[in-house]
Structure 1
């Protein structure tokens, strides 16, 4: 997938494990966004409408699992860590396998998938038009330094109203939401290898140390550790780009 390429909102009868062996994916489920480097994948249950996009040039691997023989009971989208073994199994399952070999490999993959909580950057969008207007402004320009009072005037709301709406509709305070938006925007730059100092400036941080501190607070990792190669050895496994998502 080229940078910016998207699969529009769609749904599957099968569970899907959405993963990029290279690059960075963003997956949208009902205006709730997840940003996924190669160290993470998103479990998308059957019947859940979703869309995906490449934040930079990416190779997306789509593994589809029959709910009738799936041992996992995750009914909501779930972020999982992609270990070297999981990466190898995804590559193996993308090949031409007979039925028994596929069943065996799927069973092992399901055993090694482990949910992660803090490692991903989630960005739910508010639904109220005023809060939505503020979110659109900040998504278009993450480095925007204007305070909530100025932004509130621009969308015709009071700061108090916006504070209430962000918490009620996203589960995040306005300040937390803004941090998540900035970190989400930073992902593509970091994955492309841009220096942390330059990325920090691009997304509105005065210093690289402030950016790294915010990144660690949200994900539990420094930017360097977040993009560490969890898929060592994967490149030798058979792969297939998911062109039918």
Structure 2
């Protein structure tokens, strides 16, 4: 990982401070951490948050709780405005120690905008903060891990598939392309990523499909774009991996 930045949150009155950060399509903020807890959300566009090999895709109906001190990267698959809520740990009633997705409904979205005002009276701010805490409930969804490869032969395969998720060629073809046997590449994949080739490719495809779905593409279109022959095959793989349907995952 590149150098980690210690990034302080904006300061303000109260337990919650709201920061606003425009992100261009494809832009990612360097790995960093905050001394405060953070809730990352965007009213429009699709955010991505990465913690090590784990990625969360965040449409406007979903935000991610990031505990203080957790190193993460934040980016956008298309133009977005990151609205970050920062929570002082000693004034926060939540004790979540892992990154946790939460649902964002109309009321919470309105309160985030309300707390982002710089002319809000202290008593009004404290009342709004209390309601925000009441509205934060964890969502029962599994993040999609796509481990990076370090072995140059495995990395050559993973980089190709990341660039072209729809490539349906099998392990034999990729093994020949990097000059090893199928058996050797099978072993290298598990050793390097902790996953079989098929499992890694499934995770990669699902992660690549989520920004498309969050941006309004149909399941059939997203499935085809990442290499699935039918929407039903894509939905079945999504359920097996994540534990719910794409529609429910995206809220």
How much does 1:220 deviate? 4.5
| Contiguous gaps of at least 5 residues in structure 1 | 229-245
Q: Which moved more, 1:123-132 or 1:37-46?
A: 123-132
Q: What's the counterpart of residue 51 of structure 1? A: 73
How much does 1:167 deviate? 6.1
Question: Which of these residues, 63, 66, 69, is aligned with residue 41 of structure 1?
Answer: 63
Q: What's the counterpart of residue 211 of structure 2? A: 188
Name the count of aligned residue pairs. 224
How much does 1:218 deviate? 3.5
Summarize the alignment of residues 83-232 of structure 1 with structure 2, pairs less than 5 Å apart. 83-96=105-118, 97-118=120-141, 121-129=143-151, 130-155=153-178, 158-165=184-191, 168=194, 172-228=195-251
How much does 1:155 deviate? 4.4
2:148 & 2:191 partners in 1: Cα distance? 7
2:38 & 2:223 partners in 1: Cα distance? 34
Report whether the alignment pairs 1:24 with 2:46: yes
Larger Cα-atom Rg:
2
How much does 1:192 deviate? 3.1
**TM-score normalized by structure 1?**
0.78
RMSD: 2.6
- Higher normalized contact order (CA 8 Å, seq sep 6+, divided by chain length): 1
Question: Is contact 2:149-2:193 (8 Å) kept?
Answer: no
C-alpha spacing 1:99/1:135, structure 2 compared with 1 (3 Å): farther
Q: Helix, strand or coil: the match of 2:25?
A: coil
1:14 & 1:44 partners in 2: Cα distance? 9
